[in-house]
Structure 1
Amino acid sequence: MLKNHSNLNKPAYYHNTMASPILLAFAVLAFTSFVLASDPSPLQDFCVALNDTKLDGVFVNGKFCKDPKLATANDFFFSGLRMQGNTSNQLGSMVTPANVDQIPGLNTLGISLVRIDYAPYGLNPPHTHPRATEALVVLEGTLSVGFVTSNPDNRLITKVLYQGDVFVFPEGLIHFQFNIGKTKAVAFAGLSSQNPGVITIAKSVFGSNPPISDDVLAKAFQIDKKMVDYLQAQFWTNN
């Protein structure tokens, strides 16, 4: 009995097309995974946040939403960034935020602002924003800024900024700003989240409530427990 060898004489594209449904399935799956990995876009013009959870509304991105018909200009307005921050603290700096807590209309829009005032030699200490990339622009003064890359390199990327200069701090990385001038400095920054969050490294480690164990911190930082006790006793500014 003769075997059917008709497929052997068919062109190469025939055999390639046999695999195409599998390749297509993988491509669709990969594309779907990519799409699901990003935040969804709002399906409405805006969703002005309500802080009173007793009111009726739709719960979107951590906030209840006001009826859009009741929104006013004040829901999208904040005058706090025009005022100089009080830098009379041990760090010599003050951060004034303009996020969803100050501007309810920012809810679901994925953006916020801060103003940072620095006394001469004032420091915005090493910290991270767990939910946002930051783009900072210097309005006045001279700042030394930088961020540290993640493990294992922990490379410091640093730059001196002058009036009008811009620097970007990638999301989640430890960064800082230090006023190296003899006069005050002012900077504004945009952040890619309505509520970027902030973790100040020194305060989080040595000012936690309740305190982290002396044994843990002494071993982690390779220092004496007396030094741990001293650092935990300091008053850590909530900047």
Structure 2
Amino acid sequence: MKGMRGRFLGKLKSISSITSLTQSLVFQDNAAFNQYFETPILANDPKNEEIIGNNNMLVSKKTENHSLLVEFEEKCPPGGNDSVIFYTTSLRGIRKTYEDCNTIRFLLGSFRVLYDERDVSMHLEFREELWRTLGGRVIPPRLFIKGRLIGGVDEVVGLHEEGKLEELLCGIPKSPASGPCKGCGGMRFVLCQTCNGSRKVVLEEADEDGDTSLPISCVECNENGLVKCPVCF
């Protein structure tokens, strides 16, 4: 009996020592964990202060961007909830309108943000979109940011001079392109390959009278015989 009791007490001591060793390792690991993750934040390290400062600045800019956007009228064109939509025209009949469009385009390009340019003179659907969004016949240019109407050239240039345009564009993805589109040269449209811009195609099958040269309207292109550039869009 004494031998069995001795062996039992020996096992208890072994278990107790293992438990103590495990607890010691856990405490050491917790101390190492706290030292690794907490100490760099609490330490007076210039690198950490710079990171924290940049993060705070980013949050501050996003907050300012949101509060500034709220001041503008909520008018959202199709697909414009989280993007920049720019309605423009490439017609040079009215010189001031054409130059105003170029002014806003230049400002957007200087910030290198990704924006969707919709030329109302190239695509009738874009003009109807603009009129429906603003509830009347409006002349370009018109700029929308995240579903808010920023305005025409006077409003956009004024915001840029006040330094607010950059804040409004905060959070907009940067444009990966470093120049005009290689597919369309920046026009956003290309000639329809189905009808070659004529807006007419010839039926391959004969009609009831056996005439195989009856042309019909092309369904692939718009009213100008153009299709959206597959690279830009």
- TM-score norm. by structure 1 comes to 0.25
Q: Over alpha carbons, which structure has the higher Rg?
A: 2
Instruction: Kindly indicate which of the two structures has a greater share of residues assigned to strand.
Output: 1
